[in-house]
Amino acid sequence: MKKIFLILSTIGLFTITSCSDYLDQQSPDQLTSDNFWRSKADAESALASTYSQLECAVDQWAFAEVKWPVEAYREDINELGSDALNYQNWVELSTFTYTNGNSQFTSYWKINYRGISNANQVIDKLPQVPAATLNDADRKQIDAEARFLRAYYHMKLLLNWDQIYIRNKYVTKESDLNIPLSTRVAAWDFITSEFKAVADVLPAKQSADKTGRATSGAANSYLGFAYLTRAYEETSQKQVFLNEALAALNKVQGYELVKDYVSMFDGTTKNTKESIFELQFTETTANGAFYRNALHYWMASSELGGWDEILPSAMLVSEFKKEGKIATTGNYDTRLYSTIFFKDPYFNDPNNPLVLGTTYDEKFGGTDKPVYRRYIPNTQEKMNQEFTAINIPLMRYANVLLMQAEVLNELGRPAEAIPYIDKVRARADMPGMTGTSTAEVKAQIEHERIIEFPLENYRFYDLRRWGKAKAALDAVGRTGFDASKNNFYPIPLTEVQAH
């Protein structure tokens, strides 16, 4: 991605405060949100600033410390590592004892709203760019990408808060700030209408110099996810929203599953044929660029040279193993070996692909401690680097296939759902699923989603959608969860105080 993380130093100056346009004093020799918009390059630069807020990836150190504690620590498939227990604001997220002053989800809230502000600025100011420097097709695409990102940031907020503020205009005066919280229906209406509108404008594939930027496939994938979520929330409209979800997901064409599953998460490959939307990082340092992070240390256990911040739960390991060694390889589901490094003959056979060049026992001795291998570099040399540039898949084709299966099954068409499930299983060397009833297909979908997406942070949203969060967390001893309090985070204290 050539330009995505390009300009935290230029247009970012205009979004430090949401009211910068009505400041009384302006310096005539400095760029402002009014005189910045001179060319296509300026518009692209502003769009890059909007992309830069994606998934809280605005700081190489804090990146992991915001996204994964906020999204992943509340999932039953994860446990806090030994070092994470030293951070009370992280522990509170796992034990559901947080208050509205929690710093991590406060940062999450602010970063997503900063992305919305940047998107609104692009949408509002784009007409100022002279036609001589920006043709109509490019103008429409930049506008569509900004609207996609605005919808995406709103969706991330709505998935984590019961009510949010819909910010659909660039704030230029103080009165613009004082709006009420929206209803969920209104917020979903806004999000789905934006995704639907831009899906018809965005290209099916971006050019090489725009790799990683939004496409029609991304818009339709998230539109399908939004409608699927709404179908469970607004039950009186369930059939309507399921059909809308299916229509959107069926438009996601031109992708395929990647056989080398682990390569999508260890830096070996980027932007594969399976990738629909992917957070971009690069080792490039030209002109002072820095698009890397310390995620590998955050994800790795201490035995692998990391900080020991997150571990797979015993429940996740059991879920991977529960079908037994029925893969065509003679082992468990291949996704287990691609996701978790654990004490098993597979990882102690030097003839098999090694993790950081060693066997499990060479790293762990007699200890039996399953750990994550996702986002761990593919070599010890890269693991030893202070920063790495592994991309983060945000939406994969596997997700689309399993959402299509879920929608079809909920529509009472389980026989049509099974081929989508089996396609995902075949990539993992697993035989086709057994069972044909709606209940059996539903159970299989739940199983596949657990083991397909660890550390991609869909699990909590799945549990809440299915109404199973309390039961699932109780089952792993996380009895502090109260759906009435913890299905969503409270509005951050700083936001309450500002209103």
pLDDT value at residue 288: 67
Under DSSP, is residue 347 helix (H, G, I), strand (E, B) or coil?
helix
Q: What is the DSSP letter of 173?
A: S
Continuous segment of H or E residues that includes residue 78: strand 78-80
| Spatial CA neighbour of 277 closest among 260, 298, 252 | 252
Angle at 236 between CA 235 and CA 242, to 5 degrees: 65
Q: Where are the alpha helices (DSSP H) in 200-333?
A: 216-233, 238-250, 295-299, 314-321
* Residues in the chain where the model's pLDDT stays below 70: 1-33, 286-289
pLDDT one-digit tens code per residue, 438-458: 999 999 999 999 999 999 999
pTM attached to this predicted model = 0.94
Q: How far apart are CA 229 and CA 191, in angstroms?
A: 12
Sign of CA dihedral 185, 98, 306, 8: positive
Residue extents of the structural domains in the chain: 1-24+31-76+87-184, 295-390, 395-477
Q: How far apart are CA 57 and CA 111, in angstroms?
A: 9
Q: How far apart are CA 90 and CA 78, in angstroms?
A: 13
**Burial category of 222 from C-beta neighbours within 10 Å (exposed 0-12, middle 13-18, buried 19 and up):** buried
pLDDT value at residue 173: 82
Continuous segment of H or E residues that includes residue 341: strand 340-341
The DSSP secondary structure of 323-340, one letter per residue, reads: T-S-STTSSS-HHHHHHE
pLDDT value at residue 287: 67
pLDDT value at residue 59: 80
